[in-house]
Amino acid sequence: MTDRRANRLEQALRDAGVRVTRQRSALLRVIAAAEDHPDAAELHARAVTAGAGVSLATVYRTLTTLQAQGVIDKLEFQGEPARWEAADQHHHDHMIDMDSGAVIEFTDERIERLQAEIAAEMGYDIVHHRLELYVRRR
C-alpha cells in the first residue's frame, strides 16, 4: 500500500528524466513507509535492514535529489541532524515535545494566512516557511 505510493513516485521521477536505480527505489519505499521523521543515518539503516545494498553517501545524494524533485521535505530541528518526510501530504507545521522528543504535526489556516499577510505588507512573497513549537506537557 505504501508501495503503491512509492511506485507512483518512481513514475514521476522517470517522467522527470531522473533514473530510478535500485538504491533510489529502496529509499523511496523506506520513506513512503516511515510514519516518523527519520534522519539520513536512520533511513540508511532501514534500507539496509530491508535488504537494500546502499551506502550512506548515496542516501545523502538521493535525499538531495528527491528534495529537488519536490518528493520529500527536509526538516531541521534545533541542533539535530536533518530529518526527512514525504512531501505528498498536506502542508503542516511541527510541534516538538521537549521531554519525549515526539514530533507532532499540526496546521492552522489562520497562521498561514497571517504569515502571507505580513510578508505581503513588507513587499515579499513567501517561498517557504518554518514554524516549530518547542513544547512541554502541561
Report the interface residues with its own copies, using CB under 8 A. Answer: 74, 76, 78-79, 95, 97-98, 104, 106, 108, 110-111, 114-115, 118-120, 122-138
Tell me whether residue 92 is annotated as binding.
Answer: no
The only residue of 12, 18, 45, 103 in contact with DNA, by rule CB under 7 A: 18
Phi–psi pair at 5, nearest 5 degrees: -65, -40
Q: Rounded CA gap, 25 and 20, in Å?
A: 6
Site string for DNA, 46-85 (x = CB under 7 A): -------xxxxxx-xxx-xx--------------xxx---
Phi–psi pair at 104, nearest 5 degrees: -110, 135
Tell me whether residue 36 is annotated as binding.
Answer: no
DSSP per-residue letters across 7-48: HHHHHHHHHTT----HHHHHHHHHHHH-SS--BHHHHHHHHH
Beta-carbon contacts of residue 37 (< 8 Å; ≥ 6 apart): 75, 83, 84, 85, 103
Of the pair 19, 90, the CB lying nearest DNA is at: 19
Least distance to its own copies from the beta carbon of 106, Å? 6
Tell me whether residue 93 is annotated as binding.
Answer: yes
**DSSP character at residue 80:** S
Q: Which does 68 bind (CB under 5 to 8 A by kind): DNA, its own copies, none?
A: none
**DSSP character at residue 89:** S
- By CB under 7 A, is residue 14 in contact with DNA? yes
Least distance to its own copies from the beta carbon of 133, Å? 5
Q: Which residues bind DNA (CB under 7 A)?
A: 14, 18-24, 39-41, 53-58, 60-62, 64-65, 80-82
